[in-house]
Every structure is written in structure tokens, then in C-alpha cells.
Chain A
Amino acid sequence: MQLKADHGAIRRQLMLASCSLLGVATARAQQAGDAAAPVDTSEQTFESAISYYHEDGRITAIEPMVSLHSDDGNGTQHTLSAVFDSLSGSSPNGALPSSKPQTFATPSGSSLNSTAQTYTTASGQSTTSVAPTYVVDAGQLPVDPKYQDMRVALSALAQQPLRAFDRWRFGGTLSWEHDFLSLAGNAGYSRDFNEKNTTLSAGLNEEYDLLKPIGGAPVPGSDYSLFQKQGNKNKNGVGLQLGVTQVMTRRWLAEFNVTADRFSGYLNDPYKIVSILDAQGNTTGYVTEKRPGERLRRSAYLENRVAFDRTTVTVAGRYMNDDWGVHSSTLEANLRWWNPDHDRYLQPSVRWYRQSAADFYTPWILASTGNYSTLETADARLGAFHAATFGLKYAIKISRTGSLPGQEPSEFNVRLQVYRQDADQKRANPTALQDIELYPALRAVMLQVGYRFAY
């Protein structure tokens, strides 16, 4: 009988091996318990969701989304996703309510004259049509009542490990609307330090947008009634992100990142106009909005996630400012409560947002200024406002037959969010508009149902 080693050598080595099996195992396996299990590291996930978004009295959107994700378990990941948006309803055109009815042209219109027009074609036939205009009643917020849009967005993302401690990612997005086309690409690099407790990452993204407004892009700051259009326009963006993710303790993860981006080109909303008022507040005309040809934005974001046995708390804040004079702060928090079996959770969330107005934001222009070609916008999204979002999400994890809790299970979830936005720094109403709400609050509700299938 040949023994590998004599005189207790096997026993001594076995004792050492037993110690490393039991020594640490006692401390760690206790907490891991049944939750840890072998995970087949390659995984494919199919995700789908449908959202319904409704703004009180304005837009309704239905947004289905599908996404495919594959992960080979060694760091190589691919994601393909498609989003389809269908918007309909009415969208504010930027003009103020007035004490008299107001007539506007739809984007395809070229005249504010609403009487029937007769055109004679080259072949001698004549056709009669009604100019595409809409009339807004006195006291009502001017909205384009037949606003309709569809958007299809496709995106792809690939992540590839280089070595055990670093990886690249590349991605691209194509977004298409009938009057808008956007192409974007991004690349990033991240590297782990400090036994993977620290991750530094850097990313660069580039975006190219083509605007093809119906009827052409208006000349910024031009008289609305003259319909000065200049065809298609474009804008470009480039951005940079730097981030650090740090494991603070076994239960606490912190993430901090800063971004800077710069957009240039035609940055106007081609469908937004600004009302011109006389000293009493009567509308005398409109001017197309005019924004600067460049925007430089900077932001900083901090997120903390703390996990307890059955609760995960996330608190995050973002500060952003740009050279248009917009400063914004966001604070958000959510709480995820798991049931004792860890197969269902309830996640209430709250988000608070506040922004200052762009330097050139003006809800109306006084006719007495005489000069309408300075920078101006009445787009409420560039005005001062604060907003709050309250959400509740409920999810059920559905384990695959024979799967263990360590594996990513399929999930069904439903989420409801309500949003309310109120304008700040309101200017006093002009006399003629004394009893009219010039800064209506925006209320919206979003309902989303999602299903993720892992296989």
C-alpha cells in the first residue's frame, strides 16, 4: 500500500483543508444561506414593457418596449432594445392665453387665413381646401389640438472585458420620428481597483440630430405670421462622463459621476412661438422662439444604495447647470421592501425637482420693446418650476423550474407614477389677462406593466 506521504502528512493537510472549509464558511455561509447557489453564468434575458402616459388635458402616449440582453458570464454582454412611442393629444405651442380667440396654423400651414382657398394646378384643374389652422377660444391655453407623433428608437450596447479588471463598452442609438432623426454613439472604459471595491469609468458620447419640421424650420425670432421657413436643420452634441463607484461597506454602495456636454446647431423647438402683448395685455402678434446656437451643460450626480436584509434604500441627488442660466437640482429616494421569501417587493419612490429659468425665458414679449429678434422662448420647459413625482412599483419574481435563488429569475412588475409640475417666479398678469391662468400646473400619470423573462 503506497501512501502519498507518511507519518501524518495526509492528516495534517486534511486538517488544514478542513479549517479553510469550515473556518470562513461559518461566518459567510450563514449569511449566504440558501440564497447563494451555483449560477450558470451565461444568461439571456428578454424584457418587455408597455407604458401609458397621460398629461391632464394634453398628451397621451403609449410606449411599448422590448429588449434582449445576453451575458456570457465572463463579462461579455450585448443588449438590443427597441422602443416605440405613439403620442397623441394636444401640445402647447408657447403662446399665451388671450382675452380674444386666437388663430394659429398647424405646422404644415403657411397662412393664418382660415377661409377656403382655391388652387389651380398646372394642368388647369382647381382644388379647394381649407387652410390648416386651428382656433383657440378666449382664455384657453393655446395648444395644437391634433398633435400626433410616432417615434421608433433602436439601441445596441456591447460590453467587452479586456483583462480581469477592466472593460470597454460601445453603444449606438437610432431614433426616428417623421420630423426628426437622431443618431448617437457612445464608448466607455471602466477599470476596477482595490479588489473590485472601487471602479473608475470614463465615457464619451456623440450625437447627431436632423430636424425636418413639417413645413420647414422657422427662422428663429421671426414674425410668426410671415412663415419664414428654412427647410431642414441639424444639431450636434458631444459629451463626456467620469464616474467612480465605491463599495463603502458590505451593505453600502456609493456612486458619483460628473458629466459635461455641449450641443450646437439649431437648438430651437420649431413648433414653439412667443406671444407679443401690448401694454394692456392684448395679443398683437407672435414671434418664433430663438435660442442660442450652443449649449454647454455640466452635472454632478451622487447615489447611495444601502441594502439591509429585506430592505434596500436608494438616495440620489443631481445638480446641473448650463450656460443658458438653467440650474436644476434633483433629489430622489426609493425604498424596496422584500417579502420574507424574497420573491416579491414593493417599491415606493419620491422625486423632487427644481430648476431656474433660462436667461432668455419670457412668457411673453411686450410690443413696446420693438425688437423681437433677441433671444426668447416661452417654452415652459425652460421656465422656472418645481416638480414632484410619487411612484409605487410592485414586482413578483417568478423562478424558473428548478432554478435557485442565486439565479436571476423572471419578473413581472407594475408601476404607477404621478407627476405634478408648478411654475415658479411667475410674472404678474397684464391687465387684460387678469383672470386667466397663465402658468397652468402640469399633472401627469404614468402606468407601466413590465415582464422580464430569463432563460
Chain B
Amino acid sequence: MSLREPGLWAAQFSAMGGPCEALFHGVSEGEARRLGTMAAAEAWRIERKYSRYRDDSVIGTIHRNRGRDMILDEETARLVEFARECHALSDGRFDISCGVLRHAWHFDGSSRLPDPQQVAALLPRVGFDKLRWNAPRLMLPEGMEIDLGGLGKEYAVDRACEQLATECRCPILVNFGGDLRAHGTPPRGAWQVGIERPGQEESVALLLDLARGALATSGDARRFLLKDGVRYGHILDPRTGWPVVGAPRSVTVAASSCVEAGVLATLALLHGPGAEAFLGAQGARHWVLH
């Protein structure tokens, strides 16, 4: 708990593989602590529920029950349904079943590209359209995996922010590892948000004013392969099994909710060199770093 500036309390904690914070304006320290604890609890709840590393997570349970009919709980069913809509809207570019491709791809900064045959062999195990999905019933075919990690952090930001907003009428900013959402504006008029340049975490490449809504950033400079002068970023196109080449290093999108901003940012990267054109066509406020 720290006083960032007069009247602005910040609660910091660690979740979803990174630093998280929730800022509250004009409340007492005790109230800020109570709200911060709520935000952390929601982040940890969602992290635990959708972790692909935990046996007792929803994802673990779904994977253990491959080939069988399952009824998903309401929250998970909504997320899977949202993922289905994203898959349809993006012509198959956004796919929660593409995690299987990680068996072939290891983005460790080296030049070791996988054997194209190995990648091709994995493709039959990728594709949302191969799942039997009739909400809330899901049947995950043998050999397939799903991963809600691409949505989880943004979803947690939205959930935490909306929860806090029902608890407090104070201005709130929720920031989980760079994905953030604001509710209400501080007296100064807007929240100031710095976007780092990938690979140079100490320097702020962009300083944005956020009055309302959400920002999400996609792109990660540390996860790539470099071979023959071609940089293979970690964003994989599930339709080919190969990384999208020529995508920007980082895309930040503003939208009314964090999940919406996050999906737009991911989709932009999946359009490779056409990322900015895509975002322009969608009329989304965006910031691209090459």
C-alpha cells in the first residue's frame, strides 16, 4: 500500500506472472487497503481458475476429461462463447485451441526453427471448429488443448474494475501487468499511463492520458526466434502453425473494456505488417511500436 501522490493510494501485488496494481483516489488508507485486497482476490481467483499449469484448474479439469461431454460452469461457458465469437470474427486467427503448437515452437531467442513436418502434424489438433461446443456443453477431442490465458488477464482487469466500481464511487484504475481499465477520472482529468518500449522496460516510450475505458498491449520482445535475418515473433497463426512475420513489436489498443482492447491488439498482431491498417479500419485508438 503506498501513497502515490496526495489523495492517490496504490495497492500492489503480484498476479498473472507480473506486477499488478489498483489505484484509488480520495479514499482513506483503510478503504484503499480493503479495495486493493478485493482486486487481488479477484485476480488470484481468475488466475487459479484458468491456469493451464494447475491440475485443479478448470483448464486442468477440461483437459483430463478429453473425449467426454462436459457442462461448463456459467463463467467458463461465457469465456468459451466469447472465444468462439472471436474465432468467427477473425476468420480463425484468434483461437484458444492453438496452444498445442507450443509443442513445436520454443521462442527462446535462438535460431532453432521447428521441422515444418512437425508443425504440420500438429495442425489437425488445432481449430476451435473441431471442438464440440453447444454452450454450456463442451467436448474437447483427444489430443486437443484449450487455453484461456490469452483472455484471462484482460478479463480479470474488467472483472476487478467492475467489482471495485460497485464498492466505491471513487476514481479507480486497475492495472494488471500493463493491461488496464479506468473507472472514473481523478481530479486532474485523466489517468496518466506510460507504455514501455518492448525490451527496454525502464524507459517509457509513450505517455497516454486515459480518461475512461481500457488499454491493452500485445507483443513481447523477449519471445522470438531469429533465423537468416527474419524475426519470428511469438504470435502464431493457428491456420498455418507458423508465426506471423512482419508484425509490430507491440500494439496498444484503447477500447471500452479490457477484453475488447486485448482481442483487438492480438488480432492486429495476427495481421502482421497490416496491423495498423487493421486497427485503422476498425477505428480503434491505437499506438504501435516497431
A-side interface residues toward B, CB under 8 Å? 1-4, 6-8, 10-11, 13-15, 17-22, 24-26, 28-30, 32-34, 36-42, 73-74, 401-404, 406
Contact = CB atoms under 8 A, between A and B. Distances in A.
B56 A38 contact: no
A32 B60 contact: no
A33 B91 contact: no
Given A33-B45, A36-B76, 5 more contacts: A7-B281, A18-B82, A402-B55, A404-B58, A406-B73
Nearest to A72: B69
A353 B281 CA distance: 75
A8 B64 CA distance: 39
Contact of A21 (B49, B65, B259): B259
Given A10-B90, A402-B64, A18 B74 contact: no
A197 B18 CA distance: 45
B3 interface: no
A10 B90 CA distance: 8
Nearest to B55: A402
Given A21-B78, A38-B138, A14 B61 contact: no
Contacts of A29: 74-75, 78, 159
Contacts of A1: 271-272, 274, 277-278
A402 B61 contact: yes
Contacts, number: 140
8 contacts: A1-B271, A2-B91, A14-B86, A18-B82, A22-B257, A32-B74, A36-B76, A40-B65
B120 interface: no
B121 to A, nearest CB: 27
Nearest to B259: A18
A40 B70 CA distance: 4
Looking at A10, A13, A41, A401, the one whose CB has the most chain B CB atoms below 10 A away is A10
Interface in B239-290: 255-257, 259-260, 263-264, 267, 271-272, 274, 277-278, 281-284
Contact of B76 (A11, A19, A38): A38
B260 A15 contact: yes
B155 interface: yes
A42 B257 contact: no
B129 to A, nearest CB: 15
A229 B38 CA distance: 79
Interface in B78-119: 78-79, 81-82, 85-86, 89-91
A4 B91 contact: yes
B175 to A, nearest CB: 18
B2 interface: no
A115 to B, nearest CB: 74
B261 to A, nearest CB: 9
A17 B78 CA distance: 10
Contact of A42 (B69, B256, B272, B283): B69
* Those 8 A-B pairs whose CB atoms lie nearest each other, nearest first: A36-B73, A1-B274, A11-B282, A29-B75, A18-B260, A17-B85, A21-B82, A402-B55
Interface residues of B, number: 54
Nearest to B84: A17
A39 B70 contact: yes
A26 B167 CA distance: 13
B72 interface: yes
B248 to A, nearest CB: 14
A6 B91 CA distance: 13
B62 interface: yes
Nearest to B140: A38
B163 A11 contact: no
Given A21-B259, A30-B163, A38-B71, A402 B282 contact: no
B73 A32 contact: yes
Nearest to A28: B74
B71 A11 contact: no
Contact of B255 (A15, A28, A42): A15
Report which residue of B69, B73, B81, B159 has the largest number of chain A beta carbons within 10 angstroms of its beta carbon: B73
A36 B45 CA distance: 12
Given A24-B78, A29-B75, A14 B89 contact: yes
A36 B75 contact: yes
Contacts of B81: 20-21
A11 B69 contact: no
B162 interface: yes
A121 to B, nearest CB: 69
B224 to A, nearest CB: 22
Contacts of B73: 32, 36-39, 406
B89 A38 contact: no
Nearest to B283: A8
A402 B58 CA distance: 10
A18 B82 CA distance: 7
B56 A403 contact: yes
Contacts of A36: 73-76
A281 B56 CA distance: 74
B179 interface: no
Nearest to B41: A33
A28 B284 CA distance: 30
B237 interface: no
B158 interface: yes
A28 B81 CA distance: 16
A403 B86 CA distance: 29
Q: Which of A14, A20, A33, A41 has the most CB of B within 10 A?
A: A14
Contact of B78 (A2, A11, A20, A74): A20
Contacts of A24: 78
B68 interface: yes
B86 A34 contact: no
Contacts of A401: 55
Contact of B72 (A3, A18, A19, A38): A38
Nearest to A26: B162
Interface string B186-211: 00000000000000000000000000
A40 B283 CA distance: 42
Contacts of B90: 4, 10
Nearest to B65: A40
A72 to B, nearest CB: 8
A73 B48 CA distance: 26
A22 B165 CA distance: 14
Contacts of B277: 1
Contacts of B72: 38
Contact of A32 (B75, B86, B264, B278): B75
A143 B75 CA distance: 63
A8 B285 CA distance: 12
Given A21-B78, A21-B155, A404 B71 contact: no
A42 B86 CA distance: 30
